Amino acid sequence: MARFISLLKKSTGPLTAELIQTPGDFGLGKVPARLKPASTITSICGYCATGCQLKIHLDENGQAINLSPQAGYPVNQGMACPKGWQALDPLDAPDRGTTPLLRGADGNLHPIDWPTALDTFVSRFRAIQEAHGHEAAAFLSTGQTPLEEMAFLGCLWKFGMGFLHGDANTRQCMATAVTAYKQSFGFDAPPATYADFEESDVIVLVGSNLCIAHPILWQRIMRNRRSPKIIVIDPRSTETSQAATHHVQLKPKGDLALYYALAHCILRDGRIDPASIARSEGFDKFAEFVKDHTPESAVGKTGLPAEIIEALARDVSEPGKRVSWWWTMGINQSHEGVRAAQAIINLCLITGNIGKPGTGPNSVTGQCNAMGSRLFSNTTSLVGGHDFANADHRRKVAEGLGLPLDCIPKERSLAYDEILAAAERGEIKGLWVVATNPFHSWIDSGRLEALRDKLEFLVVQDMYPTTETARAADLFLPAAGWGEKSGTFINSERRIGTLKPVKKAPGQALSDFRIFRLLANAWGCGRLFEQWTDPESAFKLLRDLTADRPCDITGIESYDHLDQSGGIQWPYPISDCRLKIADSPQETRPADINRQSSISNRPSPERRLFEDGIYYTPSGKARILFSNPAPLPEPPCDDYPFLLLTGRGSSSQWHTQSRTAKSDILRKLAPAAAYIEIHPRDARRLGIASGQQVLIRSSRGEMTATAYLAPTVQPGNVFVPMHYPEVNRLTHPSFDPHSRQPNYKACAVSLTPL
């Protein structure tokens, strides 16, 4: 350590202080003294967007020993899934990155010190910028780092370093829901609060395998005392459909046709809510449009008999019943996901199932901070829920962050797939990949690997240098992970909660926040980020930026305030606090009338949006949007006769498994090698026995997997979990035209027994 600090002194001067201070995370420093007396500390889980709070038990040095779920937290109410219970395991993995690594002339990655890493980063990206302009490099990032880090990355890259392009991995995951909400409601605003799971009479889960992907949300459904109908709309029979009361097993991508047919039946039978319709625009045209979408006309696309469609229409429009819709990747990851999500929104609008307990068109978010990324990553939206194209917004953000106005670009960035296409054409020459593993997770990943040679410079910032993407890097920056740093996440119900450092990061790994500070100084734009000293200071800066936006959180005082309130859902504007102050007895009013003390400044623990029937569009009305279903981008054919579905395999496997595979316990709970679900009838026809190896081919790539024969898939369909690196060699690079989200769940493949 002493050598390290002295090295820094030698080469970088001002960076020294940066590394000796330990604002908000352990980084290279000691455990903050204030943690020492505490025996437990709380932190939001760093995996899925459910946002469970964990109670972490610390030794006398403030280092985590073990953990348990937090009993009183409004989200998980004392529960956690296997990943939450084992959340500390990946921190101790032997393959953690402990020093920066640089690819040498021998083609291998070699340890280097931080000053050399910073110099390399700056000189290489500067050279690209000087030779090819500010559009010649891009970052690709995540929904899995705290919002302060996400915002720092986006602001540093675009406002500080002056590049234009960058996208987050929420493109793989939530872009469809974002676009659908923005177009329909005027803002990316998922309306639900989790209490709605407990207050519904009819719960419709669409393309969502909640039992394994969000197990604690399934537990919330189990607490519903209204004996709800639980309807799962999924082409596969899943853990969730088997536990539900009804399974609607439609054909893959039959959703849009199905929801229009439902709207047809509901309008035909007059089971509508005129007051809700009056608060929307476009109803007459929609009513005209769905006239032709009879249940009979939807039989071909959905594979469902007309009677099933009629019965479903009655279930989701029963007068006096509270109906909530919850969708996940079965909708978002589609060539027509935005319109399918909006078809669900339309059903809620016409039946009045919105803005009331137990209702709503609700997207269930994926990663722990996908919601924070949506508002703060400075990619598709200007940081803090603003718009790059809006001059007032640019001025407000520049003033709020203390930046010159001309730092803020007017143009939008290219989307993820467009960035990679530009790299293929040689126009983008450098990539900085932070907290995501696209060489495994991106659609048609073989193409990504092929374009590696076209990149002049690839930087990967990750906890592990062993991921598929890190192994391809020119420069690897070792990052601290969840549990080693502080910040905030926003969960699926818009609840902001804090995470805390409970372990020292290994070796010279640093929090992403600290890495961004070092890079800002090294680039020479550190002055622009002087106020970003530590995550909580950055949080307050970002909080103030949200003033007057739908996601206004100016009423939040501090991280402590979040902890004392059981997390706080947006919006929570300061005006709400002022109202409360006006109502409170004079003697309890705080000296500072603008900010009430955190004890009395507690919002109600469950808040849903649109209770007043006012949306964020200029007219205040919701928009009913629709268009005709489109054909499958790659339907099965003679050479590739099966349709491949992909998705989550088990509650103990997380994405590309860089973290969950490091836990001895989680590894035991899932198959180690790739498997494929095949309908027994198809298997018999092809002579495939249970447990046999099968070659799966698409026109882009191939993989082998073990056959698992079960009627969980329909004949003609097969399913492979996404957790095995070869899967995306097969997938077809098609995208929703509005959201540019990849269509991960439908491509044509052939099967050959080996």
Q: For ligand SF4, which residue of 23, 27, 84, 571 counts as binding (CB under 6 A)? A: 84
Q: For Mo ion, which residue of 366, 438, 481, 733 counts as binding (CB under 5 A)? A: 366
Binding track, positions 489-528, relative to ligand SF4; x by CB under 6 A: ----------------------------------------
725 sits near ligand MGD (criterion: CB under 6 A) = no
DSSP-assigned letters across all residues of 205-226: EES--HHHHSHHHHHHHHT--S
Closest approach of ligand SF4 to the CB of residue 659, in Å:
11
Q: β-strand 717-721 against 675-678: which pairing, if any?
A: antiparallel
Query: Among candidates 244, 248, 246, which has minimal Cα distance to 236?
Result: 248
Q: For ligand MGD, which residue of 342, 521, 658, 663 counts as binding (CB under 6 A)? A: 658
Q: For ligand SF4, which residue of 81, 371, 382, 510 counts as binding (CB under 6 A)? A: 81
238 sits near ligand MGD (criterion: CB under 6 A) = yes
Chain centroid to CA 169:
7
Return d(Cα 368, Cα 372) in angstroms, integer: 9
Closest approach of ligand SF4 to the CB of residue 721, in Å:
16
Stretch of 162-170, 209-217, 450-458, 636-644 lying at the interface with ligand SF4 (CB under 6 A): 209-217
Stretch of 159-167, 173-181, 437-445, 720-728 lying at the interface with Mo ion (CB under 5 A): 173-181
Selection from ligand MGD, Mo ion, ligand SF4, none that 193 binds (CB < 5 to 8 A by kind) is: none
The pair of three-digit structure tokens given for residue 709, joined into one six-digit string: 């024969």
23 sits near Mo ion (criterion: CB under 5 A) = no
DSSP-assigned letters across all residues of 618-680: TTS-EE---------SS---SSS-EEEEEE---TT--TT-TTGGG-HHHHHTS-SS-EEEE-H
- Return contacts of 57-60, CB within 8 angstroms, 24+ apart: 58/502, 60/36
Closest approach of ligand SF4 to the CB of residue 195, in Å:
17
Reduce the DSSP state of residue 716 to 3 states and report it. coil
Closest approach of ligand SF4 to the CB of residue 368, in Å:
7
Closer to ligand SF4 by CB, 541 or 562: give it.
Answer: 562
Contact 7, 115 (CB under 8 A): yes
Contact 202, 176 (CB under 8 A): no
Q: Give residues 444-503 in contact with ligand MGD (rule: CB under 6 A).
A: 461-464, 467, 479, 481-482
Return d(Cα 431, Cα 259) in angstroms, integer: 40
Selection from ligand MGD, ligand SF4, Mo ion, none that 212 binds (CB < 5 to 8 A by kind) is: ligand MGD
83 sits near ligand SF4 (criterion: CB under 6 A) = yes
Closer to ligand MGD by CB, 539 or 616: give it.
Answer: 539
Q: Name the phi and psi angles at 338, rounded to 5.
A: -65, -45
Contact 360, 353 (CB under 8 A): yes
Selection from ligand MGD, Mo ion, ligand SF4, none that 80 binds (CB < 5 to 8 A by kind) is: ligand SF4
Closer to Mo ion by CB, 301 or 494: give it.
Answer: 494
**Strands (DSSP E) found in 129-218:** 137-141, 165-168, 202-206
Chain centroid to CA 285:
34
Closer to Mo ion by CB, 129 or 332: give it.
Answer: 332
Closest approach of ligand MGD to the CB of residue 9, in Å:
26
173 sits near Mo ion (criterion: CB under 5 A) = yes
The pair of three-digit structure tokens given for residue 595, joined into one six-digit string: 């900010």
Closest approach of ligand MGD to the CB of residue 580, in Å:
36
Contact 154, 532 (CB under 8 A): no
Return d(Cα 71, Cα 527) in angstroms, integer: 43
Return d(Cα 378, Cα 270) in angstroms, integer: 44
Angle, CA of 207, 241 and 231, to the nearest 5°: 75
Query: Among candidates 89, 115, 116, 91, which has minimal Cα distance to 104?
Result: 116
Look-up: residue for tokens 């025996």? 39
Q: For ligand MGD, which residue of 31, 256, 435, 455 counts as binding (CB under 6 A)? A: 435
Selection from Mo ion, ligand SF4, ligand MGD, none that 663 binds (CB < 5 to 8 A by kind) is: none
Selection from ligand SF4, ligand MGD, Mo ion, none that 646 binds (CB < 5 to 8 A by kind) is: ligand MGD
Closest approach of ligand MGD to the CB of residue 338, in Å:
14
151 sits near ligand SF4 (criterion: CB under 6 A) = no
Cβ within 8 Å of residue 145, ≥6 positions away: 153, 369, 434, 435, 487, 512
Q: Name the phi and psi angles at 325, rounded to 5.
A: -115, 135
Q: β-strand 693-697 against 702-709: which pairing, if any?
A: antiparallel
Q: For ligand MGD, which residue of 219, 436, 546, 750 counts as binding (CB under 6 A)? A: 436
Return d(Cα 402, Cα 334) in angstroms, integer: 40
Closest approach of ligand SF4 to the CB of residue 268, in Å:
40
Backbone conformation region of residue 314, classed left if phi is above 0, alpha if psi is from -120 to 50, else beta: alpha
Selection from Mo ion, ligand SF4, ligand MGD, none that 656 binds (CB < 5 to 8 A by kind) is: ligand MGD
Please state, in angstroms and as integers, the Cα–Cα distance from residue 63 to each residue in 26, 502, 504, 513, 572, following that order: 11, 5, 7, 21, 34
728 sits near ligand MGD (criterion: CB under 6 A) = yes
Q: Give residues 57-76 in contact with ligand SF4 (rule: CB under 6 A).
A: 76
Q: Which residue is nearest to ligand SF4 (CB)?
A: 84
Look-up: residue for tokens 């110099």? 119
Binding track, positions 290-329, relative to ligand MGD; x by CB under 6 A: --------------------------------------xx
DSSP-assigned letters across all residues of 549-610: STT--TT---HHHHHHTT-EESP--HHHHHHHHHHS-GGGS-SSTTS--TTT----S---S-
Cβ within 8 Å of residue 262, ≥6 positions away: 309, 312, 313, 316, 317, 347
Query: Among candidates 557, 568, 565, which has minimal Cα distance to 594?
Result: 557
Q: Name the phi and psi angles at 158, rounded to 5.
A: -90, -45
Q: For ligand MGD, which residue of 161, 206, 256, 323 counts as binding (CB under 6 A)? A: 206
483 sits near ligand SF4 (criterion: CB under 6 A) = no
Closest approach of ligand SF4 to the CB of residue 219, in Å:
9
Closer to ligand SF4 by CB, 52 or 347: give it.
Answer: 52
Sheet containing strand 323-327, strands side by side: 246-248, 229-233, 202-206, 323-327, 360-363
Q: Positive or negative CA dihedral for 488, 489, 495, 497?
A: negative
Closer to ligand MGD by CB, 173 or 676: give it.
Answer: 173
91 sits near ligand SF4 (criterion: CB under 6 A) = no
In terms of C-beta density within 10 A (0-12 exposed, 13-18 middle, 19 or more buried), how is residue 449 classed? Answer: middle
Binding track, positions 15-54, relative to ligand SF4; x by CB under 6 A: ------------------------------x-xx-xxx--
Closest approach of ligand MGD to the CB of residue 32, in Å:
19
Stretch of 19-27, 281-289, 360-368, 724-732 lying at the interface with Mo ion (CB under 5 A): 360-368
Stretch of 81-89, 349-357, 601-609, 666-674 lying at the interface with ligand SF4 (CB under 6 A): 81-89
Selection from ligand SF4, Mo ion, ligand MGD, none that 330 binds (CB < 5 to 8 A by kind) is: ligand MGD
Q: For ligand SF4, which residue of 23, 97, 190, 215 counts as binding (CB under 6 A)? A: 215
Selection from ligand MGD, Mo ion, ligand SF4, none that 52 binds (CB < 5 to 8 A by kind) is: ligand SF4
**Interface residue list for ligand SF4 (CB under 6 A):** 45, 47-48, 50-52, 76, 80-81, 83-84, 214-216
Please report, as ranges, the residues that interact with ligand MGD according to CB under 6 A: 48, 142, 144-145, 169, 172-173, 206-209, 212-214, 233-236, 238, 252-253, 255, 328-330, 333-334, 366-367, 434-438, 441, 461-464, 467, 479, 481-482, 512, 645-648, 651, 653-656, 658-659, 722, 727-728, 731, 744-745
